[in-house]
Amino acid sequence: MTLFAQSARALPAFAAQTGQPCQACHVGGLGPQLTPFGRNFKLHGYTLRTNTFNVPLAAMLQASFTSTQKSAPQAVAPNFASNDNFAIDQISLFLAGGLGSHLGAFIQTTYDGVSRTFHWDQLDVRATTTLHVKGHDVVVGTSLNNFPTVQDAWNTLPAWGFPYLSSELAPAPATSPLLNGALAQTSLGLTGYAWIDSAFYLEAGGYESPGATTLVRLGVDPTSPGAIDGIAPYGRAAYQTSIGGATLEAGVFGLQASIFPGLDRTTGFTDRYTDLGVDASLFKALANTDVITLNARYVHEHQSLNATCLLDGVPDAGCASNDVTDARADIAYYWRNQIGGTVQVFDTTGSANPVLYAGNRTLTPNSSGVMFQLDGTPFGGLAQPQRRVNVRIGVQYTLYTSFNGASTNFDGAGSNARDNNTFRIFTWFSF
């Protein structure tokens, strides 16, 4: 069973613990997209258990073939070609499961097959309890985690939003809000939450940056984006209800962080980011076991980049004050909850800035497009612990309508958005 941006997680250890098939927790029989049952399992701290004992270890391997419409002018990464690359994208090991009825964890370490390095990956350690307050059931919990939104139970926020797996060898727009993953594995936070009557969700907490030496030892770059000054507050609220046999969720979220860019403190200033967003999701299981899902989010980020502009020699508000918005929505249909198709539209826009976007012809970060995915998971409905292996095979196609500021000649050197259109074939094993 599975619970990123960014990268996907598939953990048969959870299925063996609960005695449920992967489809019970995950749409399509493999993660990370959660069903309402899977959300509840996560919010209760991964503690549900029907088996007396299971080994709380799991592993995952993802591999892919990536091809872009136009080859890059040089190799896209060391040890790879300018196009048509096969890669073992990542190999991960997990310690995941519940300890008693109040403690649980999801701890991942990863070998990156593109950079050929090891690093700590997603971390979510929880303590929970259930209270009964004036006729209301309240799950109260804390999460120690290393990526704002990795603790979230809905597939609308960046850590677990579509696409559920990707490749570093594929081109990507240069700009996105800080909350979209820039603090993944370079921050450490503690949040507290309440899940009231399986309907209202409230969460608040803060994040800070571990020391640079510690991050280097954990295999990540401490200079990107830099060190958080003090504590970065994070908040989340959501409401979930059933309507016409479907489960509907709507919520809000936000993060504010002041960062010393690249660890540089010589200017005496920080870059300040304020990210505020709204999200919504829908899950509906049909009588024939087909599943329909819809996920959407909108993020607005205001930036006050005083440190970056001073470092670039442009100490004025025209450089420092910027806005970035990111909107995306995806719809998926899974036949018999095993063979699925997903379509996502995405649109990132921002204010013009001749310093930040000097390499973009329009001096804006605007990027937009559509992603299509077809995939199949033949073993997702089989019960654990009889089977400890799951696999998904699929294809992805990303079509860009604009890229780094424009549809055509976006870099002033003749490059067009469609040159970055990307086709991928992927395999994903968990065991």
CATH of the domain at 352: 2.40.160.10
* Residue 387, number of CB atoms within 10 A of its CB: 15
| C-alpha–C-alpha distance, residues 288 and 394, integer Å | 23
| C-alpha–C-alpha distance, residues 169 and 42, integer Å | 31
Q: Which residues contact 266 (CB under 8 A, 6 or more apart)?
A: none
Count Cα atoms within 13 angstroms, Cβ side, for 311: 17
pLDDT at residue 2, as a whole number: 35
Q: 83: which 2 tokens? A: 């196009």
* pLDDT per residue of the chain (431 residues) written in tens, 0 to 9: 333 334 445 467 777 777 788 888 899 988 899 999 999 999 999 998 877 777 788 999 999 999 999 999 999 999 999 999 999 999 999 999 889 999 999 999 999 999 999 999 999 999 999 999 999 999 999 999 999 999 999 999 999 999 999 999 999 999 999 999 999 999 999 999 999 999 999 999 999 999 999 999 999 999 999 999 999 999 999 999 999 999 999 999 999 999 999 999 999 999 999 999 999 999 999 999 999 999 999 999 999 999 999 998 887 767 899 999 999 999 999 999 899 999 999 999 999 999 899 999 999 999 999 999 999 998 766 665 445 688 999 999 999 999 999 999 999 999 999 999 999 999 999 88
pLDDT at residue 124, as a whole number: 98
Residues of 16-27 as b/e, b for ≥16 C-beta within 10 angstroms?
A: bbbebbbbbbbb
Q: Report CA 2 to chain centroid distance, whole Å.
A: 13
What does DSSP say about strands 57-68 and 85-99: parallel, antiparallel, or unpaired? antiparallel
pLDDT at residue 11, as a whole number: 66
Residue 276 lies in a domain: yes
Residue 231 lies in a domain: yes
Residue type, 97: G
Residue 380 lies in a domain: yes
Residue 83 lies in a domain: yes
Residue type, 421: N
Q: 428: which 2 tokens? A: 């994903």
Residue 192 lies in a domain: yes
Identify the residue whose tokens are 């704002």.
Answer: 148
Residue 6 lies in a domain: no
Phi, psi torsion values for 388, nearest 5 degrees:
-110, 10
Residue type, 404: N
* Residue 362, number of CB atoms within 10 A of its CB: 15
Q: How many domains does the structure of the chain reveal?
A: 1
Residue 7 lies in a domain: no
Q: In terms of residue numbers, what domain contains 265?
A: 12-430
Residue 407 lies in a domain: yes
Q: Please give the helix or strand (H or E) that residue 359 lies within, else none.
A: none
